[in-house]
Amino acid sequence: MGLIVMKFGGTSVANPERIRHVARRVVRSYDQGNNVVVILSAMAGVTDGLIQLAKQVTDLPDKRELDVLLATGEQTTAALLAMLLKSMKYPSMSLLGYQAEVVTDKTFGNARILEIGATRIRDLIRERHIVVVAGFQGCDPDGNITTLGRGGSDTSAVAIAAALKADVCEIYTDVEGVYTADPNVCKKAKKLKKISYDEMMEMASLGAKVLQIRSVEFAKRYNVPVHVRSSFSEEEGTMVINPDKDMESIVVTGVTSSKNEARITITKVPDKPGIAAKILGPIGEAGIVVDMIIQNPETDGKTDLTFTIPSGNYREAMQIEKRVAGEIGAEDIFGDENIAKVSITGVGMRSHSGVAAKMFSALAKENINIQMITTSEIRVSCVIEEKYAELAVRALHKAFGLDHL
């Protein structure tokens, strides 16, 4: 007996039959004596559909109104599940983000959770209600509806689990857990029994969308055990937890790829102090996050600077840099949207050497050229041509012995 937060993603609530299936799973846990809070996503494809709908009305939808629109996806599924549970004679109630007191900042479309009151959730649990909360949405201190960024229901779930001090946050999705690589890209990917918060955070930020990165940040900060598992099977999934000793013995636990980046290069920039700040400052001021940066060695007092940014910001960043390039007297500026970042992750890297070199030679063997490299204590990332992303994932998966884990 305990308090369990169960989150169901878009494919798990994609149609009425699947919602019925979700209800049966929820009820089973409740009947075992647990208190249950359910967090739901919108039906698969609905959020994308709503974005398209908005774009049919106007090219650049107002961000506040877009959030009002997008929040309806989760409002729909929460209402459907709660009415179904009530029809099955279980006490239940749906709550929207503001009713659950999910307070966020004002960044429409990508809001951060500031605090969660959850008084109403607590009261309802005390009365043995199954509380169904619409994920992905909150409300700013002025009462405006906000959304938490794509995949944000994961963060709703973990944050609510933290606020309620739940025993576990179960994330039900369309795969059986967290794998060594995206199982839809690499057929030989293996399910991990457990993964540390830090590794999961790196993997999430590097393209493993199975959990939204902010949900893992919350889980780590508040020590919430997260269980990623399939809503279509009874198999145990993957526990996301604090690291233990045997995790260090595996050097690489995950291979990820992300195609959501673009590269901008400014050539023959006069090499003098402050130039990097002049180039990157306006990008930061525009709220665009720079990922990798490379500056080539100087020749004849000139240098080239290359950096990557999310592909969604590419057009805006190019516009900014064309202006900057003119101001600082650069020779040329060009960009490339067809790049991918492939990465390897593992806490074991802290205590093993030669990991990066092994990665580079595995890519070289496939004739894949490396354009940029970055490393952290527990990961190595390379930018490559986008068309090689899947091949690179499979090659690295094999090179680091994950095919036969």
In the complex, which residues of this chain contact ligand ASP (CB under 6 A)?
Answer: 9-10, 41-42, 47, 73, 135-136, 150-154
CB of 76 to ligand ASP, least distance (A): 11
CA distance 81 to 16: 9
> What phi-psi label fits residue 367: left (phi over 0), alpha (psi between -120 and 50 degrees) or beta?
left
11 binds, among ligand ADP, ligand ASP, Mg ion, none (CB under 5 to 8 A by kind): ligand ADP
CB of 379 to ligand ASP, least distance (A): 24
CA distance 25 to 186: 30
> What phi-psi label fits residue 131: left (phi over 0), alpha (psi between -120 and 50 degrees) or beta?
beta
Residue nearest to ligand ADP (CB): 9
**Nearer residue to ligand ASP within complex by CB, 158 or 349:** 158
**Nearer residue to Mg ion within complex by CB, 90 or 136:** 136
**Nearer residue to ligand ADP within complex by CB, 61 or 151:** 151
Query: Mask: binding to Mg ion, 119-158, rule CB under 5 A, as x and -?
Result: --------------------------------x-------
How is the beta sheet containing 145-147 ordered, strand by strand? 113-116, 102-104, 137-139, 145-147
CB of 155 to ligand ADP, least distance (A): 11
CB of 88 to ligand ADP, least distance (A): 24
Secondary structure letter of residue 357 according to DSSP: H
292 binds, among ligand ADP, Mg ion, ligand ASP, none (CB under 5 to 8 A by kind): none
Handedness of CA 220, 246, 166, 100 (dihedral sign): positive
CB of 189 to ligand ADP, least distance (A): 7
**Nearer residue to ligand ADP within complex by CB, 36 or 175:** 175
**Residue type (1 letter), 195:** I
42 binds, among Mg ion, ligand ADP, ligand ASP, none (CB under 5 to 8 A by kind): ligand ASP
**Tokens 């045997």 — which residue?**
246
Contacts of 383 (CB under 8 A, 6+ apart): 261, 263, 292, 308, 339, 340, 341, 370, 371, 372, 373
CA 258 to chain centre: 11
Q: In a 10 Å sphere around its CB, with 0-12 CB exposed, 13-18 middle and 19+ buried, how is residue 377 labelled?
A: exposed
Choose the stretch contacting Mg ion; rule: CB under 5 A; options: 4-12, 254-262, 365-373, 394-402: 4-12
Q: Does 254 bind Mg ion (CB under 5 A)?
A: no
CB of 16 to ligand ADP, least distance (A): 17
Q: Which residues bind Mg ion (CB under 5 A)?
A: 9, 151
